[in-house]
Amino acid sequence: MWAGRVAAIGPTDKAARNYGRFGTGSIVAWPPGAGFGERWIWLGNDTLIAAHVTLSAGMGPGQEMVTDPVVSIGDRCVIGRGTAIVGHFSIDIGDDVYMGMNIYITDQNHGYEDLDQPIGTQTPRDDAVSIGSGSWIGSGAVILPGAQIGSHVVVGANSVVRGVVPDNCVVVGSPARVVRRHNGSAWVRDTPDPPGPG
């Protein structure tokens, strides 16, 4: 296979035509991870998808999707080796987002309400994910459904992110919490709220 010999898929390659959008100057390194639903995946310009990255839209090949795109990756992004971006509804990654290795991002959780039915067969719940421009996601991080990460955010390695993360901050931990933020003139440590009455 030609892509295997040159070690990447570029915008003029036949495989790039499977994507909803494959930006100028972008490449998907060889070998890619498992993936499907490329029709609903958009790649911006000058973006690098490292080897063994899984990009998928939907539950399996040939599924019709409700939103288009399902996964959108902006311009000048770097997605690290072994990362999995698994979209079912909406994952939007802004411009200039850099990611370390082995990150997991998804916009869907399994339902678990019915105790008479296996969790894996219950109706899943979708909740859109967004990652703001200029952010850095450290290796091993997990971005859960509903996460709304602002612009210029650092997510520490192995952190688990859910909910809203404001612009211009550093989050770490499981669950991730803000430990530093930019106050308009300098980076300052975030002061946690004191414990409530016990």
Digit-coded pLDDT (tens) for 31-52: 988 888 999 999 999 999 999 9
Q: Is the pLDDT of residue 2 over 80?
A: no
pTM value is: 0.90
Considering 14-18, 112-116, 158-162, the range whose residues carry the highest mean pLDDT is 158-162
For the chain, the structural domain boundaries read: 2-189
At a CB cut-off of 8 Å and minimum separation 6, what does 77 contact?
Answer: 44, 47, 48, 93, 95, 96, 97, 98, 99
CA distance to 48, 57, 106, 156, 171, per residue, from 176 (Å): 26, 26, 16, 8, 6
Instruction: Report the alpha-carbon distance of residue 124 to residue 108 in Å, rounded.
Output: 6
- Which of 32-41, 96-105, 155-164 bottoms out in mean pLDDT, i.e. has the lowest? 32-41
Q: What is the mean pLDDT of the chain?
A: 91
Q: What share of the chain has pLDDT > 90, as a percent?
A: 79
Q: What is the DSSP string of the chain?
A: -HHHHHTEE-TTSGGGGGSSEE-TT-EEESSP-S-B-GGGEEE-TT-EE-TT-EEEESSSTT---SSS-SEEE-TT-EE-TT-EEEESS-EEE-TT-EE-SS-EEESEE-----TTS-GGGSPPEE--EEE-TT-EE-TT-EE-TT-EE-SS-EE-TT-EE-SEE-SSEEEEETTEEEEEEE-SSSEEEPPPPPP---
- Give residue 1's pLDDT: 43
C-alpha closest to that of 131 among 108, 147, 142? 147
pLDDT at 65: 75
CB atoms near residue 96 (< 10 Å): 19
Instruction: Determine what percent of the chain is predicted with pLDDT higher than 70.
Output: 93
* Architecture of the domain whose range is 2-189: 3 Solenoid (2.160)
74 pLDDT above the threshold of 60? yes
Residue 77: predicted pLDDT: 99
Provide the pLDDT for residue 197.
54
Q: What is the pLDDT of residue 193?
A: 53
